[in-house]
Chain A
């Protein structure tokens, strides 16, 4: 913290402030209204690496991938108008998935605001519903404080994206620069106080329960509460399931890990949601993809909800006891009140359902005997090569659901996917960001042939930066997930889901990326081995049986206990 000031221009203040916040990496795309900041980035390039993506959407998804694996704030930059609007999908994605981001957009000079000037867009209004906070800065002097506040808000409490829109004159004008980190905003309480009585009430319910069931979400990861979660479940012996975004908070092979809940979750966890006597939700928000119809969701059970965000309590599911606070803190507080238990008979119910699911769904997916390749067997093959230690990025569609069902995880913050928004095109740029956020780790991205073509221009970013991501395109020549719904609910009318694809191998090779295509099962293991062994980026395309489906499935509007195996 420096108290003496220096006379510099706003654009330099932006870069210096980013450095003060520990941001030495930013993703972005230049343009007229943000050129002064880019000029400073040029001067500071030995301290702050700027990654030029091929589209602003690529920049923000990369920043998201970076933030998700590193736990740091992702930073991205874009120019005014189309640059700013191209960020919007990623901002909405980060908002619904609680990813900390600071987005900086250039804006036309303040005297032009409201005149429909060239590339003027009211990005503050556009982004308001999908940002945790946003602000337009029109005076150079206000820049350092705005950036300090932005970082504080983005990462504190329930994280989220913030946007700072800086007019060109504010970037060019001089200010007396001094940087002071933000330590509080008087109208904002990031972590609400925990009521210890509620902790005790929750413990009493847990100790009395015969069939308790834990469902944990990303709140555990965001709150860095993995160890506390483990302590709770190991002491209480409670079977625990994850939401898509909670995945990797608990290792896949943990004996108390019973699988995933939700639309394509595991059979037992869905069925038994409607048989438990106590549902303990931790850092999750009862999304409709998790609950199915609320009318018949866990009605027999008492509900405990641990969350940092008071607005989540009773939003979708009425709770009996709400424990507000950071999961790291609230879980640590509850453990001493919990009795040791095993719940063996109850566990056996999960095991019985698991057997049924293994037979009907899992074994045929992972060790298929039919001719066509399955997505599950590809993922299984990668598991074998990585031992579950890789960061796994997935796009949106069938392959995403196969990925979250079948990818193995040993380490937290390793599952990067667009959960709440379901943004196709997310994975490739997010994988680039993830690799930069965890350079020492293997990063594998599973992407459908549809979603791949939404952001495959980011191969250019890989070419330019050398980011060693492993890209696996699971090609079923369909917009598979939509096709599955058409098959199940629209009498196989495959409206606009058939894909005529380009030669993906040539495309990868055009970007100087080693590429292999697998069509036959016998070539899979070797190709996966070569991909994982590669020190550089690698592109693997696997031709998948065209009309394979993801099961189990809770159809929209159905009850979780009506989960279908076929």
Chain B
């Protein structure tokens, strides 16, 4: 069976130890976490982990089963890319003189639909939200001019179909 990228969404109670427990489940099976994001969810006091990793469907099913076994995990789901709407955000810090000396940079920013978050005498910061390929493409375009700092968030996603968490919670 072929490996592919899965996005795993985990709804949990707020317990600081859970991140450790969930990470261990991946570690034990030698599955690399590509990206990880933790935030609040649409339900009060319920947190949401969004984890991306490459594996087979058989493996992701078992993994999600093990995650759900954790007492404070309410529910875990896995999705392929076509089942979700997803994005990442990247920040690029670049020396301000380039903005004026290298006119092409302005075009790059414009063409990539990135926005400028802040500009000051030393540096300016570009923000780009989109697919990995898009933030990566922008990186490649800016790299020759010198990127002072680069950072990208983990993937965040919402599923196209309902995840019925509130209903689940009522039943539990």
Binding site for B on A (CB under 8 A): 124-125, 128-129, 132-136, 153, 184-189, 309-311, 313-315
Contact A311 B69 (CB under 8 A): yes
The one of A125, A133, A135, A311 that contacts B65, using a Cβ cutoff of 8 Å: A311
Give the residues in chain A near B28, CB-CB below 8 Å: 129
Interface residues of chain B: helix, strand, loop or mixed (majority): helix
B65: chain A residues at CB < 8 Å are: 310-311, 313, 315
Q: A187 touching B74 by the CB < 8 A rule?
A: yes
Does A153 contact B69, Cβ atoms closer than 8 Å? no
Q: Could you say which residues of chain A place their CB within 8 Å of the CB of B112?
A: none
Q: Does B66 contact A (CB under 8 A)?
A: yes
Asked whether, in the complex, the Cβ of B21 is within 8 Å of the Cβ of A186, the reply is: no
Indicate whether B12 reaches chain A with its CB closer than 8 angstroms.
Answer: yes
Q: Are B71 and A132 closer than 8 Å at their CB atoms?
A: yes
Contact with A along B59-73 (1 / 0, CB 8 A): 001100110110111
Contact between A128 and B20 (Cβ–Cβ < 8 Å)?
A: yes
Closest to B13 in A: A187
Question: How far does the alpha carbon of A189 sit from the alpha carbon of B71 in the complex, in Å?
Answer: 8
15 A-B pairs within 8 Å (CB atoms) are namely A124-B17, A128-B17, A128-B20, A129-B24, A132-B71, A134-B17, A136-B17, A186-B74, A188-B72, A309-B69, A310-B65, A310-B68, A311-B66, A314-B62, A315-B62
Residues A133 and B62 in contact in the complex (CB < 8 Å), given A128-B20, A187-B12: no
Distance A136 CA – B17 CA, assembled complex (angstroms):
9
Please give the distance in Å from B165's CB to the nearest CB on chain A: 11
Interface centre among B17, B62, B66 (most CB of A within 10 A): B17
Q: Which of B20, B24, B62, B172 contacts A188 (CB 8 A)?
A: B172
A188–B68 alpha-carbon span in the complex (Å)? 9
Complex formed: what's the CA distance from A134 to B21 in Å?
10
Q: How far is the CA of A520 from the CA of B68 in the complex (A)?
A: 56
CB pair B71 A185 closer than 8 Å: yes
A290 to B2, CA, bound (A): 28
Contacts of B61 in A (CB 8 A): 314
Residues 156 to 172 of chain B near chain A (Cβ within 8 Å): 169, 172
Note all chain B residues with C-beta closer than 8 A to A132. Answer: 71
Query: Across the two chains, which residue of chain A brings its CB closest to B46?
Result: A187
| Set of chain A residues within 8 Å of B71, measured between Cβ atoms | 132-133, 153, 185, 187-188
Nearest CB in chain A: distance from B156 CB, A: 22
Complex contact A186–B169 (CB within 8 A): yes
| Residue on A nearest B12 in the bound complex, by CB | A187
With a CB–CB cut-off of 8 A, which chain A residues contact B62? 311, 314-315
> Chain A residues near B17 (CB, 8 Å)?
124-125, 128, 134-136
* List of A residues within 8 angstroms of B66 by Cβ: 311
What's the minimum C-beta distance from A367 to chain B, rounded to whole angstroms? 46
Q: Which residues of A contact B21 (CB under 8 A)?
A: 128-129
Name A153's closest neighbour in chain B (CB-CB): B71
Instruction: Evaluate whether A128 and B12 lie within 8 angstroms (CB atoms) in the complex, with A187-B71, A187-B74, A314-B62 already known.
Output: no
Complex-state Cα separation, A134 to B72, whole angstroms: 11
- B 37-65 contacts with A by CB, 8 A: 61-62, 65
A315 to B21, CA, bound (A): 19
Residues of A within 8 A of B172 (CB): 184, 186-189
Write the nearest CB–CB distance from A501 to chain B, whole angstroms.
37
Report how far A189 CA is from B172 CA in the complex, Å: 6
C-alpha spacing A517/B104, complex, angstroms: 92
Bound: A313/B69 CA distance, A: 13
- Check B24–A311 contact: CB distance below 8 A: no
Which residue of chain B has the shortest Cβ distance to A185 in the bound complex? B71
On chain A, the residues within 8 Å of B69 by CB distance are 309, 311
| Beyond A187-B74, A187-B172, A310-B68, 20 extra complex contacts between A and B, CB < 8 Å | A124-B17, A128-B17, A128-B20, A128-B21, A129-B21, A129-B28, A132-B71, A134-B17, A153-B71, A184-B172, A185-B72, A187-B73, A188-B72, A188-B172, A309-B69, A310-B65, A311-B65, A311-B66, A311-B68, A313-B65
Check A187 against B24 for contact (C-beta < 8 Å): no
Q: What's the Cα separation between A134 and B17 when bound, in Å?
A: 8
Q: Which chain A residue has the least Cβ–Cβ distance from B68?
A: A311
Complex Cα distance A132/B66, Å?
A: 11
Q: How far is the CB of A286 from chain B (nearest CB, A)?
A: 13
Residues of B within 8 A of A129 (CB): 21, 24, 28
- Cα A136 to Cα B12 in complex, Å, equals 18
Q: Distance in Å from the Cβ of A193 to the closest Cβ of chain B?
A: 9
Cα A185 to Cα B66 with chains together (Å): 18
Q: With the chains together, A134 CA to B172 CA distance in Å?
A: 20
- Cα–Cα distance between A168 and B68 once the two chains are bound (Å): 33
A136 proximity list for chain B (CB < 8 A): 17
CB distance from B146 to the nearest CB of A (A): 39
* Structural contact, A128 and B13, CB atoms closer than 8 A: no
Cα distance A310–B13 in the bound complex, in angstroms: 21
